[in-house]
Chains A and B, each alone.
Chain A
Amino acid sequence: MAYDKFDILTSSAVPLPIENVDTDQIIPARFLKATERKGFGDNLFRDWRYNDDDSPKEDFVFNNPKYKGKILVGGKNFGSGSSREHAAWAVYDYGFRCVVSSFFADIFRGNCLNIGVLPVQVSPEFLEKIFKAIDADPTTEIEVDLNKQTITLLVSGESESFDINGYKKENMLNGYDDIDYLTKMKAEIQEFAEARPF
């Protein structure tokens, strides 16, 4: 079993209403030098979170104690840029289990799914509703139900369904990953490889 199972997540959320958040912001390259998957959460959004002298930037949402939870809500085109899986690790290590946006960059989305962070893509309108609800009450709770593929604002009951392919959904519900699957079909892969021209 590769990671925690994901079923229903009910949590308050941290809002980041900025578009095109790239993986260099999520974790700058100078923090990619570890040879183990440890401690990346400390440097999540490092340059937006801290001043040069390592003091917290007070206007950044992570440094505002009002906002916490296991869900990160970002603006459109979240996770663009570098393929660094460290970005997904940092999100996970900080304590998030779900990222919500109206649009995700491909590689970041895939990396999240591979480590057990659920990317939930909602309509721009629903994203706006989430931001407004958090703005009105930072403790407002959001329910993400992977089995039903729904995301619900519990305060109003407003809900939207989201897409995930059936295979990945099963994986997340059961905490399996792709390597579990691939290693089981090694013989088939080897037969395929023999026939490759180069």
Chain B
Amino acid sequence: MSKTLFDKVWDSHVVRKIENGPDVFFIDRHFIHEVTSPVAFLGLKSRGNTVLYPNRTFATADHNTPTINQHLPVEDPLSANQLKALEENATEWGISHWGLGHQKNGIVHVVGPENGITLPGATIVCGDSHTSTHGAFGAIAFGIGTSEVEMVLSTQCIMQPKPKKMRINVNGELGFGVTPKDVALYIISQLTTSGATGYFVEYAGDVFRNMTMEGRMTVCNLSIEMGARGGMIAPDEKTFEYIKDKPLTPKGEAWDKAMTYWKTLSTDEDAVFDKELTFNGSDIEPMITYGTNPGMGIGITNNIPTAEAVEGGAATYKKSLSYMNFLEGDSMIGKPVDFVFLGSCTNGRIEDFRAFASIVKGKKKADNITAWLVPGSHEVEALIKEEGILDIITDAGFTLREPGCSACLAMNDDKIPAGKLAVSTSNRNFEGRQGPGSRTLLASPLVAAATAVTGVVTDPRTLLV
């Protein structure tokens, strides 16, 4: 029978099918971080269980960590306590731990691929919804709750009903100044934040084929924002090139054997999806959000839609615009901005810093802008220095912070103050997401850079040469 890419990977990980129930689903790779794992370890202990396969779990600290002065003790006692719990649990059970200060430390969804933990055809989970990132490599990767973290620790399995399948095709070519982030925000704006709930997405078509691995990670990362559990892209030469020789990828004979398998990982021609959508790459503009969920996005040159023009409840829509302090029909271009955040598991990779630098090169940061530029990992940080990007951004008046989740979720010290407006390359613009009362505009690194040098929401195409 013909199978989709998703079927092939899913079906090969089912240990047992339960009638009228979920599948017992085997997990190859498990990432843990300090926020969603401590209670799982407590549960494990209280039941008298042990960690079944410590070498299949990888710990890194990212959500709570400060992004300046990482060599000093963490000041917030609650954060310090969680970081300590992660370290102690990892040590107790023999789990690899890349804590604060470790040279491999960084955002879990950045360091996983960098180190070859993420592989095609693997199943990957983490107590973090943006685990969908790893689907860029042809893995089935998704976020889980803490009860499931405990399940994976103690049995290397979770119980999941198989999701429905959706394919999203984007064909043709992307326009000037249009990035993978814009592609994702465009798709979410078309589907809404619940449009893919219950589905697992495969991204297909020229646009994704032509995309770099970093770009594919950005797209898959945002799958959860349209409600999908995850998204994936069939592995190809680019994928193999990226993972080859990474520290933890299979080597020698094991690599050759894996390659034989990985090359079978694509959707059969006559395989059927429960839903299929097709978009044209040339219809996509640089995007920006204007509301309080990632589905409220528009092409940057458009005006904010009226309540009548959008699907869903008008009351919820008006509540959202009122929170943002925007009016129906407003233009986004020219809105004065206070903060610019470049970073996160969505856009904290080297390519994102290259894009940012391409715009700010030879210009100066606007005086009204506070900019937080946060690499996703120490490896990204090292590349920023190596490639001369640090010099470019320093000359333009920016400083570089240390790796971590930073201002994406207002859990560490990097919080956007109440009422302030931020252009952010992260993934969520929910009320208070970046700090109580903060207001977020999601956009690409190019839009963030253009805004950082002008001080107002700016179409990057007007600055790109």
Contact = CB atoms under 8 A, between A and B. Distances in A.
B445 interface: no
Given A81-B430, A105-B197, A165-B22, A185 B147 contact: no
B49 A183 contact: yes
B247 to A, nearest CB: 14
B316 A182 contact: no
A115 interface: yes
Interface residues of A, number: 58
A24 interface: yes
A183 B410 contact: no
Nearest to A177: B147
A177 B78 CA distance: 30
A103 B155 contact: no
Given A35-B39, A114-B145, A18 B261 contact: no
A75 B38 CA distance: 32
A33 B145 CA distance: 15
A35 B35 CA distance: 8
Interface in A1-47: 17-20, 22, 24-25, 28-30, 32-37, 47
B69 to A, nearest CB: 20
B278 to A, nearest CB: 24
Contacts of B293: 20, 22, 80
B158 interface: yes
B79 interface: yes
Interface stretch (B12-20, B209-217, B338-346, B361-369): B12-20
A178 interface: yes
A190 B145 CA distance: 23
Contacts of A196: 26, 28
A77 B81 contact: no
A49 interface: no
Contacts of A25: 430-432
B392 to A, nearest CB: 32
Task: Among A19, A104, A167, find the residue whose CB has the most chain B CB atoms closer than 10 A.
Answer: A19
Interface stretch (B122-130, B268-276, B350-358, B379-387): B122-130
A104 to B, nearest CB: 8
A125 interface: no
Contacts of B430: 22, 24-25, 81
A81 B131 CA distance: 12
Contacts of B128: 82-83
Contact of B38 (A35, A83, A106, A192): A35
B193 to A, nearest CB: 5
B175 interface: no
Contacts of B285: none
Interface in B41-97: 42-43, 47, 49, 52-53, 63-64, 76, 78-79, 81-82, 85
B182 interface: no
A42 to B, nearest CB: 15
Given A33-B78, A81-B129, A179-B151, A103 B197 contact: yes
B411 A178 contact: no
A94 B198 CA distance: 28
Given A105-B194, A189-B15, A165 B21 contact: yes
A197 B21 CA distance: 27
A136 interface: no
B254 to A, nearest CB: 8
A64 B124 CA distance: 44
Given A29-B409, A106-B227, A186-B155, A166 B428 contact: no
Contact of A193 (B22, B127, B156, B159): B156
Interface string B224-248: 1001010000000000000000000
B158 A178 contact: yes
Interface string B142-175: 0111111011001111111101000000000000
Contacts of B433: 24, 29
Contacts of A18: 315-316, 319
B119 interface: yes
B49 to A, nearest CB: 7
A33 B18 contact: no
Given A32-B411, A198-B258, A47 B52 contact: no
Interface string A166-198: 111000000001110111011011101100111
A189 B194 contact: no
Nearest to A184: B155
A76 to B, nearest CB: 7
A133 interface: no
Contact of A77 (B52, B76, B194): B194
A198 B28 contact: yes
Contact of A85 (B36, B161, B250): B36
A88 interface: yes
26 contacts: A17-B315, A20-B312, A25-B432, A29-B410, A29-B433, A32-B63, A32-B411, A33-B64, A47-B431, A47-B436, A81-B224, A82-B128, A82-B129, A84-B35, A84-B36, A84-B145, A86-B146, A178-B148, A178-B159, A183-B49, A185-B16, A189-B15, A189-B24, A189-B156, A190-B52, A196-B28
7 closest cross-chain pairs (CB), A and B: A167-B21, A85-B145, A166-B20, A83-B143, A33-B78, A111-B145, A35-B38
